């Protein structure tokens, strides 16, 4: 890769990282009560998992799987989960087949708070759509989704291959 291409990729990475950080900050200020953005992300993941389970896809989410999906350490996930459990927003259940395994689920109270958070966040979405058209926003989303898929597959393989040479 030429230096100019590497610099362009790095600028893309920095822009995406800065946008993600600023979005988290902006969204975090809008969330109801004492809900943090990290807690909201876990609630959102639990709600997605519950919807998938309702459709017959999956039996529940383990803490380790949740940590992987959110890019968190097990300790960070445990801390977040304990906060949600203390607020009765989530709960854990022991797996009936493997008593050593636990699954985490969103509670009805967690669903209500998630819905309130989504209503609060809709203002931020509306503000963004006054600046960016839906088509432009969807185009950026498509590029980011494609980039993430690439990083999750070929991007990792290429970086490992490059190190072993």
Least confident of 13-17, 115-119, 153-157: 153-157
pLDDT, residue 149, reads: 87
Q: Does residue 54 contact residue 105 with C-beta atoms inside 8 Å?
A: no
Residue pLDDT, tens place only, 69-117: 998 999 999 999 999 999 999 999 887 777 788 999 999 999 999 999 9
**pLDDT band at 12; cut points 50, 70, 90:** confident
pLDDT, residue 57, reads: 63
C-alpha angle 17-134-23 in degrees, rounded to nearest 5 = 25
Domain at 14-131, CATH class: mainly alpha
Residue pLDDT, tens place only, 114-153: 999 999 999 888 888 888 888 988 888 898 899 888 888 8
Q: Does residue 41 contact residue 70 with C-beta atoms inside 8 Å?
A: yes
For the chain, which residues make up each domain, given as ranges? 14-131, 133-165
**pLDDT band at 53; cut points 50, 70, 90:** confident
Distance CA 73, CA 88 (A): 22
Is 0.85 surpassed by the pTM of this model? no
Residue 2 has pLDDT above 70, yes or no: yes
């Amino acid at each position: 890769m030429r230096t100019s291409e590497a610099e362009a990729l790095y600028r893309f990475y920095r822009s995406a990282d800065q946008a993600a950080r600023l979005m988290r900050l902006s969204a975090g200020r809008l969330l109801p009560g004492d809900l943090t953005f990290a807690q909201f992300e876990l609630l959102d993941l639990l709600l997605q998992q519950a919807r998938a389970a309702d459709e017959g896809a999956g039996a529940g989410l383990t803490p380790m799987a949740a940590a992987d999906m959110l890019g968190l350490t097990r300790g960070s996930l445990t801390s977040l989960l304990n906060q949600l459990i203390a607020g009765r927003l989530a709960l854990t259940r022991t797996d009936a087949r493997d008593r050593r395994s636990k699954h985490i689920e969103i509670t009805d109270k967690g669903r209500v708070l998630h819905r309130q958070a989504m209503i609060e966040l809709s203002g931020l979405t509306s503000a963004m759509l006054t600046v960016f058209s839906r088509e432009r926003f969807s185009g950026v989303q498509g590029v980011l989704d494609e980039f993430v898929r690439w990083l999750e597959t070929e991007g990792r393989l290429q970086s490992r291959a490059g190190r072993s040479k």
